[in-house]
Amino acid sequence: MLGVETSCDETGVALLRWDPEKPGRGLLSHALFSQIALHAEYGGVVPELASRDHVRKLLPLVRQALKDAGLTPADLGGVAYTAGPGLVGALLVGASAARAMAWALGVPAIGVHHMEGHLLAPLLEDDPPAPPFVALLVSGGHSMLVEVKAIGEYRILGDTLDDAAGEAFDKTAKLMGLPYPGGPALAKLAEQGTPGKFRFSRPMVDRPGLDFSFSGLKTQVLLAWQASDKSEQTRADIARGFEEAIVDTLAIKCRRALEAAGAKRLVIAGGVGANKRLREQLAEAGAKDGFRVYFPRLQFCTDNGAMIALAGAIRLAAGQQQGDTIDVFPRWSL
Ligand code: KG4
Ligand code: ZN
């Protein structure tokens, strides 16, 4: 199975040998090109530039992945691609290329949901989680708590009312003058920050429910930053306070979601899942409260082709079929 990911600013490709007994086991190769440098000077992703760069990078990456796996196109049994949600032009590049390759080779093509890819990414690791479990999906576009009763059977327990967790990281980083993409830069800076120097509120934890809201937190940071001496240490202290607030909020809601679903396994996925503090805090909470936490390896937290190959392989194996139409869904709920 070839997996193709082009929903945003990462061109990702991977090859997976399908084993029904061990779905996430057979990863043969994966290749990624990040467009970070291309978008950095604009302070965010420029959709048209993203699409054009996917056009440039996709086929060379497919060739690279085939070479690394010692395969030729004739070895492919299917092609999976991200059909949404994401940037429409970027999605269309992946969908058109994937469908064209599949059609030329006479193998099935399947469009998969980007967030299902993220959600299944921990299955690519040793000792993968078995459903039922609760998944915290935290990326640049989403902050969701999902009850996974079985693969393909999802119930959304909570969603964001405004900014996604990654978006909050990125916007907060930007307002303190950090370079794009802000999330990892802010997290790195927070390591030098003094714990507790700035304390921001944990949004929406004092009311019932599992939804998130992070835009107020961003405003609190803006006010603190504007009133500060703007020194490098203060920036690190504010970054630390912000990260503590977000991580605490996510951890509190994860606990509640596990209780609501009666689950003992928690999966963390999506770009913010790469955050060290979040990983450590949840692993500690799990050890204390008797639930187990599963993460994808860092490179499979952010966008990649491997999670798409896996999600597509699972769906094809389950008998899902699609026609030859090239359809993408920029907005698409899980
Ligand atoms: O899953 P992803 O690669 O793309 C989307 O589907 O959105 O997630 C990217 C997001 C960005 O907002 C980025 O700032 C955030 O994940 N991110 C982080 C870290 N690494 C990536 N946020 C906090 N700490 C990190 N270490
Ligand atoms: Zn993503």
Strands 109-113 vs 133-138: parallel, antiparallel or unpaired? unpaired
Closest CA to 116 of 160, 91, 148: 148
Asked if pLDDT for residue 307 goes beyond 90, the answer is yes
Give the per-residue pLDDT at 20: 87
Q: Which bound ligand lies closest to the C-alpha atom of 181?
A: 1
Confidence category of residue 181, pLDDT binned at 50, 70, 90 = confident
Confidence category of residue 325, pLDDT binned at 50, 70, 90 = very high
Give the per-residue pLDDT at 207: 87
Q: What is the mean pLDDT of the chain?
A: 96
Residue nearest to atom 21 of ligand 1 (CA): 271
Instruction: Return d(Cα 283, Cα 291) in angstroms, integer.
Output: 9
Asked if pLDDT for residue 180 goes beyond 90, the answer is no
Give the per-residue pLDDT at 57: 98
179-209 b/e (C-beta count within 10 Å ≥ 16 → b): ebbbbbbbbebbeebeeeebebebbbeeeee
Q: Which bound ligand lies closest to the C-alpha atom of 143?
A: 1
Q: Write down the ipTM of this complex.
A: 0.98
What is the arithmetic mean of pLDDT over 168-186? 94
Instruction: Return d(Cα 17, Cα 27) in angstroms, integer.
Output: 6
What is the arithmetic mean of pLDDT over 266-289? 97
Give the per-residue pLDDT at 24: 85
* 220-260 pLDDT tens trace: 999 999 999 999 999 999 999 999 999 999 999 999 999 99
Give the per-residue pLDDT at 29: 98
Pocket-testing residue among 302, 304, 334, ligand 1, by greatest number of atoms within 8 A of Cβ:
302
Confidence category of residue 23, pLDDT binned at 50, 70, 90 = confident
User: Three-state SS for 202?
Assistant: coil
Ligand 1 pocket at CB < 6 A? 8, 139-141, 166-167, 169-170, 181-184, 187, 270-272, 274-275, 302-303
* 98-149 pLDDT tens trace: 999 999 999 999 999 999 999 999 999 999 999 999 999 999 999 999 999 9
Asked if pLDDT for residue 21 goes beyond 90, the answer is no
Instruction: Return d(Cα 246, Cα 204) in angstroms, integer.
Output: 11
Residue nearest to atom 8 of ligand 1 (CA): 271
275 is in an annotated binding site: yes
